[in-house]
Amino acid sequence: MNTSNPRSKIGLFDLEVNCLTKILFGALVVVSLVMVALQHFAGRWYLQIIRFLLLFSNIIPISLRVNLDMGKIVYSWVIRRDSKIPGTVVRSSTIPEQLGRISYLLTDKTGTLTQNEMVFKRLHLGTVAYGLDSMDEVQSHIFSVYTQQPQDPPAQKGPTITTKVRRTMSSRVHEAVKAIALCHNVTPVYESNGVTDQAEAEKQYEDSCRVYQASSPDEVALVQWTESVGLTLVGRDQSSMQLRTPGDQILNFTILQIFPFTYESKRMGIIVRDESTGEITFYIKGADVVMAGIVQYNDWLEEECGNMAREGLRVLVVAKKSLAEEQYQDFEARYVQAKLSVHDRSLKVATVIESLEMEMELLCLTGVEDQLQADVRPTLETLRNAGIKVWMLTGDKLETATCTAKNAHLVTRNQDIHVFRLVTNRGEAHLELNAFRRKHDCALVISGDSLEVCLKYYEYEFMELACQCPAVVCCRCAPTQKAQIVRLLQERTGKLTCAVGDGGNDVSMIQESDCGVGVEGKEGKQASLAADFSITQFKHLGRLLMVHGRNSYKRSAALSQFVIHRSLCISTMQAVFSSVFYFASVPLYQGFLIIGYSTIYTMFPVFSLVLDKDVKSEVAMLYPELYKDLLKGRPLSYKTFLIWVLISIYQGSTIMYGALLLFESEFVHIVAISFTSLILTELLMVALTIQTWHWLMTVAELLSLACYIASLVFLHEFIDVYFIASLSFLWKVSVITLVSCLPLYILKYLRRRFSPPSYSKLTS
C-alpha cells in the first residue's frame, strides 16, 4: 500500500533563497577581482584577492539561515497556539512557507471530507429494498425465524400462499442479516471483566456497556445495524464468534479462516462453522467491481449498485457459499501449502483463495451513508477563490464519489461534469481524450482503471487537459495511483501540491506531495504521523493556508531580503571606502563594531519582522483572493531582490560619501559618523518595512538603539567619545541618515497613494 520511502522535503522558498545566495557569492568574487584589477594586478595580487574576499565576505548573509530557521520555529509555535484551529500539530517546521503557495490540493474523501461515521441506510435483496423507514419489517422477519410462530387455525389445512411468500422472504432476510453479522473483523468490548462461566457471560451480554471495535467504521455500522434488527454480536476471539438471537439464544460459530480486506483485493472473507449444525459457510463482502465476477449471474447487481451510489451511499456486495467438509479440507490443505511457499507466496495464496471464490450466492447489497464534515462547503469555496484547484482522489465507486463532489460543492451547481468513459486500450483512450478536449470549463470524473490506461499511453496529453479543469475526481483510485498523480502534477506544472488524507492508504500521497496534511480520524494516525501538518477537521485547512501559510511566506520573504540588504549595505560602504583610498584592502570597521552590527545592534529589530502582517486574519479569511497574489512568488523574486540591492547600494554609498565629506580631521570621526548613521538607517528601514506594529517590534527598536548608545562608552578604541557628544556629530549623522532614508519613505507614500497593493485597499 505504501511502498515508497519518505523523501526529505526542501521548501521552494529555501531553494529560491539558496539561488539568491549563489548570486551573492558570485558578486563577492566579481567585486574582489574588480578591486584587484583596478590595482592593475600589481605585486602579489593573488593575496590581494584573498584579502578582498575576506573584506567583502559580508556580502554573503551568513546569519540569513539562522534567522530563517528561528522564524520557522516562531511560525510553528503560532500555528500550534491558534485557538481557531485546535489540535493542529506541526510535525515539520522546515516548510511552513509552502503553505502560502499551494496551487493544487489533492484530498481523500472518506474521513477527510466526510465524518467517517457510517450510518446504515439500505438493505437491498434484489426484489425488495429496505430503507430506514422499513427496518421494522427486517426486524419482524428476523423475529419470525428465531421465535415460535402461532399455529394456524384448525380449518386451514396448509399454509397459504401469503405465508409461504413471507417465510421465503424471512429466510432471505435472515441469510442476509446473518452474513452481515458474521463477515467482519469487529470485536465487542465490555467494560466489566472477569467472566468465569457461561451464565455470567450471558448476563454480561445484556449489559449496555458493549462497544464495538474495528479498523473500519463501515464494519461497525453494519454490526450495529444487525444488533438493531435482532441479531447481536456478543462475543468474539481469534477462533470463535457468538451471536444472540431475538429469543436470547446464543449461536456459536467457529472461525476457520479469515481473509482480511486489502486495497488491492477490495474484499474480505471469512469461513465459519455453525456449532449447532456443523455446517461450514464461506461468507464474502466487497466492492461491486470485484464481486460482480465472483457471484452467480444476476440481472440486478450492477443497476442497483449504481442507483445506491448515486444517492451517495457506500455500497457493499454480500455473498455466501456452503462448503462440504471434504471441500473445506481440500481447500485448507492447499491454503496451508501456499502459505508455506518460499517463492511467490502472496500470489499462490491469492490463487488458492480465488479458487474458492466462484459461483457464490448473492445475498444482498448494503448501503451506508457518510455525512460531510462541518463547513466543508465554505472551506472548498474559500480554496477555490484563492486560486487553488482541488482534486478528490478516492477509492469509492464513481457514482458515490460524484455525489459527494456535488454535495461538497467541489463541483459547482451549474458546472458541467465530464465522466470519462471506461477505456481499456490505446485507441479507446485516444477517442475519449479527443471528446474531452472539446469540453470547456467542466469538471472531470475518471476511474482508476481509465486513469491507468491514459497515463500509460497519453500521459502528457491527459495531464495537460486535467490541469485545465476547475475540479477533478478520481474514483477507484489505488494508493500508488494517488502518489503517482501528485508526482505528475509536480513534474508537469512545476507548482506546489498539498495532499490531505486521514488513512493509511493516503500516506504515500502525503509523503510525495510538497506539503502533506494529515487529518486525525477514525482510521488511525498513520496519515497524521506521516504528514508535515496534522489537523483535526478539514475546515481547519482554510485558516492554515489563508492565514498561517500566507503570513509565513510573506514574513520570511521580508526577513530574508532585509538580512541581504543589511549585509550589502555595509559591504557597499567598504567598497566605497577602499575605492577612495586607492583600492586599498583596509577594513573600515574592526573588532566589536563588525560583530555587533549584525548581532546586538540590528538582530532584534530585523528578526521582529516575523511578527509582521499586512492584514488581519479575519480579512485574510474573508478575501481569499489575497492568497492568489502569492502563487506568482512576487514577495521574493529577482525583481524584489534587485530592488533591495539598489537600495543597499544607494544607502551604503550615501552614508560613506557623506561621512567622508563631513568628517573633520581624524579617521575615527569617519567611523563614528558612518557607523552611527548605518545603525540608524537600519532601524528606520525596519520601521519602513513593518506593515502592522506589534509591541515587541517597538521594544526591539528601542532596545537596539539603547544597546548601541550604551556601548559607545566602551568603544573608545574605535570611536572618539568626546566627538560623539558634540553637536557637530549629531547634525552630521542626522543629515546623512535623512538623505539615505527620506527618499524611500517618499517613494512608499507615493506608491500607496497612486499604486497601492491589493491588501492595502482592504485595510485603508
Catalytic positions are 108
Task: List the one residue out of 518, 523, 489, 500 whose CA is nearest residue 263.
Answer: 523
Structural Rg of the chain based on CA atoms: 36
Side-chain half-sphere CA neighbours of 160 within 13 A: 8
**Owner of C-alpha cell 481557531:** 84
What lies within 8 Å, CB to CB, of 733 at 6+ separation is 673, 676, 677, 680
237 assigned binding-site residue: no
CA distance 702 to 705: 5
CA distance 379 to 363: 41
370 assigned binding-site residue: no
69 assigned binding-site residue: no
CA distance 674 to 214: 72
476 assigned binding-site residue: yes
407 assigned binding-site residue: no
Cβ neighbours, 10 Å, residue 322: 11
285 assigned binding-site residue: yes
CA distance 399 to 416: 15
What lies within 8 Å, CB to CB, of 441 at 6+ separation is 415, 416, 470
- Which whole-number Å values give the CA distances from 637 to 558, 561, 645, 716, in the listed order? 11, 10, 12, 42
Task: List the one residue out of 516, 636, 689 whose CA is nearest residue 13.
Answer: 636
394 assigned binding-site residue: yes
CA distance 235 to 201: 9
Per-residue DSSP letter, 718: T
219 assigned binding-site residue: yes
Order of strands, edge to edge, in the sheet holding 240-244? Answer: 129-130, 114-124, 361-372, 313-323, 280-286, 267-274, 250-259, 240-244, 232-236
505 assigned binding-site residue: yes
CA distance 244 to 255: 17
400 assigned binding-site residue: no
Phi, psi of 115, deg, nearest 5: -80, -15
C-alpha cell at 48: 590581494
DSSP secondary structure, 538-579, as one string? TTHHHHIIIIIIHHHHHHHHHHHHHHHHHHHHHHHHHHHHHH
449 assigned binding-site residue: no
Task: List the one residue out of 487, 322, 465 whose CA is nearest residue 393.
Answer: 487
439 assigned binding-site residue: no
614 assigned binding-site residue: no
Binding residues for ATP: 108-110, 219, 261, 285, 314, 394-396, 476, 482, 505-506
Binding-site annotation: residue ranges: 108-110, 219, 261, 285, 314, 394-396, 476, 482, 502, 505-506
Residues annotated within the binding site for Mg(2+) are 108, 110, 502, 506
